A = this chain, B = another copy of it.
Amino acid sequence: MDRESSPFDHLLWKETARTLEARCRIFDVYRVQKASGKGTTGSFYLLDAPEWVTVVPVIQNGDGTRSFVMVRQYRHGSGEVTLEFPAGVVEKGEEPEAAGRRELKEETGYEAAEARLLGRVNPNPAFMNNRTHVFLFSGLTKTALQCFDEHEDIEVELVPEDTAVAQMGTGEFGNGIMMIALGFYLRDRKGKD
């Protein structure tokens, strides 16, 4: 991979080999052998995953407040029901914004007139190799019925922004990927209210 050199290249490790440990449909697990510039060697586990997208769909209310279009669904990792922003996987060949529009429409039936990138990060660079892209979607109109992926059973709810911000990290508001998106949203709103 071509990359620009940086003053911190002395911290880089080089991959020397990798073995597939498990194919898990939404990611593959590899064991990767690496060597540091200092000559240290080790093996590390890697989740090879596609890019992800999360959208923050905002409705401007008549009274000057804002609401989010959120989705309630069962999450198989936590074993709990969460209330969170629409999100999903960026399909091969798809642009992240287009993936966000598709997920919003499939999960909620809404479409957005405007989209703006709020930020993107690796969800966990310790063992993931992908990024989650966060878009602000506004100018929303409900145009279609929901259209679920297999095993999806999703309820749509309009949540006041103040409620979502205050409740984040409690009860149904427990999704860290949503917290990444909400953090970028709070940065974007800083000084505007």
Contacts and interface: CB of A to CB of B under 8 A. Distances in A.
Chain A contact residues (Cβ within 8 angstroms of B): what range?
35 or more
The interface residues of chain A, by DSSP majority, are classed as mixed
A121 interface: yes
A129 B77 contact: yes
A98 interface: no
Interface stretch (A106-114, A136-144, A178-186): A178-186
Contacts of A82: 125
Given A26-B45, A46-B77, A169 B13 contact: no
A34 interface: yes
A176 B44 contact: no
B72 A8 contact: yes
B153 A36 contact: yes
A183 B190 contact: no
A155 B178 CA distance: 30
